[in-house]
């Protein structure tokens, strides 16, 4: 939790009371590889801050195939925000791709911080804005970039991620087939 507090303090002034409150409502936990944090169809009440490790959110289509929506590495937040915002059951699965140290918060309790400690609001807003920017970029990249360019960008954004992801996780994130991904990798290796 220390790291997250440091991160918050790096962007906003945080009172001691607010700091103590955030520590009190958080729970730090190490999840082994393969742990499922959120399961499609079940209720969702938590948001997760990744202290270390790698977490993936994905949906399963009606044919049973997985499609990766997001990877969360060090200092990223992840949850099923659709489920939380609309108070619905989860449409996503969230799983740890390697052993991950996670700080979890109850979504409603974390929201309560804003009422109790308004100084926290810019930090929360910044997280949301970063999320929106990241989603916009993802859509724009899909529209504008070639598969090879998307892959380059992906590796820049998530360095070393290939060590603990499977090809189909990345291919489905980029919206390309596994064969295309293999082809791109072979071409890159030639260069």
Partner 1 sequence: MKALQIVKYGEIVESLAFNEISKPTVQANDVLIEIKAAAINPIDNSIILGNLQRMIPIPFPSTIAYDVSGIVVEKGEEVSDFQIGDLVYSRVPQEQMGTLAEYVAVTSAAVSKKPGNISFEEAASIPLAGLTALQTLEYAGIKENDKVLIHAGSGGVGSFAIQYAKAKGAYVYTTTSTANVNWVKELGADRVIDYKTEDYKTIVKDADIVFDTLGGNYSSEAFEVIKQGGKVVSIVGPLDEEIAKMFGMADYKLPEALAQLCSAKEASYKFIFMHPNGAHLNLIKTLIEDETIKPIIDKVYSFSESIEACIHLASGRAKGKIVIKIN
Residue 181 gets the label, from left (phi > 0), alpha (psi -120 to 50) or beta, of alpha
42 lies in the binding site for partner 1 (CB under 8 A): yes
- Kindly state the smallest distance separating residue 34's Cβ from partner 1, in Å: 10
Of 166, 175, 183, 185, the residue at the interface with partner 1 (CB under 8 A) is 166
* Residue placing its CB nearer to partner 1 in the complex, 110 or 171: 171
- Kindly state the smallest distance separating residue 186's Cβ from partner 1, in Å: 13
Nearest C-alpha neighbor of 76 from the set 110, 51, 106, 101: 51
162 lies in the binding site for partner 1 (CB under 8 A): no
Q: Count H helices, E strands: the chain? A: 8, 8
* Residue placing its CB nearer to partner 1 in the complex, 8 or 90: 90
* Antiparallel, parallel or unpaired: β 100-106 and 55-60: unpaired
Crossing angle (nearest 10°) for helices 121-144 and 2-11 = 90
| Cα–chain center distance at 137 | 15
165 lies in the binding site for partner 1 (CB under 8 A): no
Nearest C-alpha neighbor of 93 from the set 23, 41, 45: 41
- Kindly state the smallest distance separating residue 167's Cβ from partner 1, in Å: 6
Which of 80-88, 104-112, 119-127, 167-175 is the region at the interface with partner 1 (rule: CB under 8 A)?
Answer: 167-175
Query: What radius of gyration, in Å, describes the C-alpha atoms of the chain?
Result: 18
Which of 4-12, 60-68, 73-81, 102-110 is the region at the interface with partner 1 (rule: CB under 8 A)?
Answer: 60-68
Residues that bind partner 1 (CB under 8 A): 36, 39-42, 58, 60, 63-66, 166-168, 171-172, 178-179, 182
């Amino acid at each position: 939790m220390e790291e997250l507090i440091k991160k918050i303090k790096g962007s906003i002034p945080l009172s001691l009371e607010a700091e103590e409150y955030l520590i009190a409502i958080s729970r730090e936990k190490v999840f082994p590889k393969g742990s499922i944090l959120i399961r499609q169809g079940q209720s969702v009440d938590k948001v997760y801050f990744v202290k270390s490790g790698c977490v993936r959110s994905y949906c399963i289509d009606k044919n049973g195939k997985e499609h990766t929506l997001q990877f969360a590495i060090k200092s990223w937040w992840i949850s099923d925000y659709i489920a939380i915002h609309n108070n619905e059951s989860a449409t996503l699965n969230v799983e740890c791709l390697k052993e991950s140290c996670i700080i979890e918060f109850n979504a409603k309790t974390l929201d309560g911080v804003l009422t109790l400690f308004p100084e926290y609001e810019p930090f929360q807003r910044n997280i949301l804005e970063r999320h929106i920017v990241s989603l916009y970029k993802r859509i724009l990249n899909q529209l504008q970039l070639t598969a090879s360019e998307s892959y380059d960008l992906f590796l820049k954004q998530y360095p070393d991620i290939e060590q603990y992801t499977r090809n189909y996780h990345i291919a489905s994130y980029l919206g390309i087939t596994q064969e295309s991904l293999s082809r791109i990798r072979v071409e890159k290796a030639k260069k």
